[in-house]
């Protein structure tokens, strides 16, 4: 039995297998290390300003818009497409939301802002349907379709009010943007953290049980426990940092910002979508070999259209956060966001050749990008210089990806 012949090697394999099932491969590990190095470096360079609760809170809020859209971009890129229109779609849906809220629906009505959100999400989904239909059923390359979308929806965003900015938004609606009142407070933050930890533990137990049911080798307890501990520590640490930032001139802790909460929901939802649903499986299979998927009798066009619809829907979510945060609708919202979103997905390990990518990676990519950007702002580096650095990081990340893929068997 090889199991007894070389226990050390098997143990190593099991540990890496355990890591792999938690979606942490070498690439992901390298990214986490990169993020930590960036954080520590920036903290040293800014004399400790970077690690203040205030900066981390802002970093989390700023990452959420790009993070949300990057999770959708992962699906798009995994099935060998690209979506260049996300920034314009954000601008257009955001303008429609703001216009409806301020100029169409009665001001102050309780149903006003929830309905505008629904309209915005529906519009995002419809735009996705439109673009997905051209790509999937009419065979227009996604690059062209969404390049056209980039122009069209930016124009549409302008036309909603002929370029005028719409403001102010509903008071309750502004909470979604993560402003002064846009967080859930200390108590709720801890309640959510407790729920998340409970879910992690239950999930780990369930996995062990189902492994046993099918007679598979249990994952090593030690590895699983240490992963669980790291997860719990991260959750607690995150909540503590968010609670350490007070509302202005008070001692009231802010807690988790609402946009970050939305992002967490999106990340969990999208992770489940890719891991446990047929749809997610097919998206990855399309990226691996579209012909094989077609020969398996799967309606490849339907899946592709759905992917673009999910992307559009997430643009709608991002538009809600952006307008709530700005407390206005401006037609330039989301300009060049497509580049940040694609860069976040790619830095997060999504392969442009398709078939590879994780939601968690995209989130990490978004946080890395935002950390660099806001860290450099703290250092007083000019915006031109910041663009230069972030461009260079993108090249480095893809170069790492290429080198990593070459080394594998």
Partner 1 sequence: MSVLPRPDSQTEPSDDRPPLVEMINIHKRFGGVHAVQGASINLYPGEVAGILGHNGAGKTVLMKALSGAIPCDEGEIRINGEKVSITSPRDARKFGIETIYQTLALADNLDAPGNLFLGREIMTAYGTLNDRAMENEARKVIERLNPNFKNITDAVKNMSGGQRQSVAIARAIYFNAKVLIMDEPTAALGPQETAMVSELIQQLKNEGVGIFLISHDLHDVFDLSDRVSVLKNGKLIGTRRTKDVTKDEVLGMIIMGKLPETDRPV
What residues line the site for partner 1 (CB under 8 A)? 210-211, 213-216, 275-278, 281-282, 284-289, 291-298, 355-356, 408-409
Report the residue number, 209 or 249, with the smaller CB distance to partner 1: 209
Residue closer to partner 1 (CB basis): 50 or 284: 284
Minimum CB distance to partner 1 smaller for 2 or for 106: 2
Give me the least distance between CB of 151 and partner 1, in Å please. 33
Q: Which is nearer to partner 1, 41 or 405 (CB)?
A: 405
State the nearest-atom distance from the C-beta of 402 to partner 1, in Å.
Answer: 16
166 vs 270 by CB, closer to partner 1: 270
Output 17 or 386, the one with its CB closest to partner 1.
17
Per residue, the 3-state secondary structure of the chain, as one string, reads: CHHHHCHHHHHHHHHHHHHHHCCCCHHHHHHHHHHHHHHHHHHHHCCCCCCCHHHHHHHHHHHHHHHHHHHHHHHHHHCCCCCCCHHHHHHHHHHHHHHHHHHHCCCCCCCHHHHHHHHHHHHHHHHHHHHHHHHHHCCCCHHHHHHHHHHHHHHHHHHHHCCCCECCCCHHHHHHHCCCCCECHHHHHHHHHHHHHHHHHHHHHHHHHHHHHCCCCCCCHHHHHHHHHHHHHHHHHHHHHHHHCECCCCCCECCCEHHHHHHHHHHHHHHHHHHHCHHHHHHHHHHHCHHHHHHCCCCHHHHHHHHHHHHHHHHHHHHHHHHHHHCCECCCCCCCHHHHHHHHHHHCCCCCCCCCCCHHHHHHHHHHHHHHHHHHHHCCCCHHHHHHHHHHHHHHHHHHHHHHHHHCC
Supply the minimum distance, in Å, between the C-beta of residue 288 and partner 1. Answer: 3
The CB-of-217 to partner 1 minimum distance in angstroms stands at 11
**Closest distance to partner 1 from the beta carbon of 323 (Å):** 34
> Smallest gap, in angstroms, from Cβ of residue 211 to partner 1?
7
Closer CB to partner 1, residue 162 or residue 291? 291
In the bound complex, what is the minimum distance in angstroms from residue 18's beta carbon to partner 1? 13
């Amino acid at each position: 039995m090889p199991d007894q012949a070389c226990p050390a090697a098997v143990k190593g394999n099991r540990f890496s297998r355990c890591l792999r099932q938690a979606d942490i491969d070498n690439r992901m590990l390298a990214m986490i290390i990169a993020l930590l190095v960036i954080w520590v470096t920036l903290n040293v360079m800014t004399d400790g300003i970077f690690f203040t609760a205030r900066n981390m809170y802002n970093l989390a809020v700023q990452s959420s818009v790009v993070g949300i859209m990057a999770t959708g971009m992962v699906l798009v890129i995994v099935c060998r497409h690209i979506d260049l229109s996300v920034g314009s779609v954000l601008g257009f849906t955001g303008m429609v939301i703001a216009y409806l809220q301020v100029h169409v629906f009665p001001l102050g009505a309780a149903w006003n802002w929830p309905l505008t959100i629904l309209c915005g999400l529906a519009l995002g989904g419809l735009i996705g349907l439109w673009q997905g239909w051209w790509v999937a059923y009419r065979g227009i390359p996604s690059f062209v379709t969404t390049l056209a979308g980039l122009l069209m929806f930016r124009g549409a965003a302008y036309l909603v009010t002929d370029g005028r900015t719409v403001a102010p938004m509903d008071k309750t609606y502004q909470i979604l943007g993560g402003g002064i009142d846009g967080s859930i407070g200390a108590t709720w933050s801890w309640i959510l953290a407790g729920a998340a930890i409970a879910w992690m533990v239950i999930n780990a137990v369930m996995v062990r049980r189902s492994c046993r049911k099918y007679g598979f080798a249990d994952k090593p307890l030690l590895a699983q426990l240490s992963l669980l501990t790291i997860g719990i520590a991260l959750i607690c640490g995150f909540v503590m940092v968010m609670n350490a930032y007070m509302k202005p001139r008070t001692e009231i802790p802010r807690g988790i910002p609402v946009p970050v909460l939305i992002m967490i929901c999106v990340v969990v939802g999208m992770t489940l979508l890719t891991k446990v649903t047929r749809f997610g499986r097919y998206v990855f299979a399309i990226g691996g070999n579209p012909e094989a998927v077609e020969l398996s009798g799967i309606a490849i066009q339907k899946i592709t259209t759905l992917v673009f619809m999910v992307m559009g829907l997430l643009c709608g979510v991002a538009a809600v956060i952006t307008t709530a945060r700005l407390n206005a609708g401006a037609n330039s919202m989301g300009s060049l966001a497509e580049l940040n979103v694609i860069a976040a997905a790619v830095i997060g390990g999504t392969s442009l050749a398709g078939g590879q990518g994780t939601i968690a990676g995209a989130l990490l990519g978004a946080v890395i990008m935002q950390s660099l950007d806001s860290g450099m702002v703290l250092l007083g580096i000019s915006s031109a210089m910041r663009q230069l650095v972030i461009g260079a990081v993108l090249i480095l990340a893809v170069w790492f990806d290429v080198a990593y893929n070459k080394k594998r068997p």
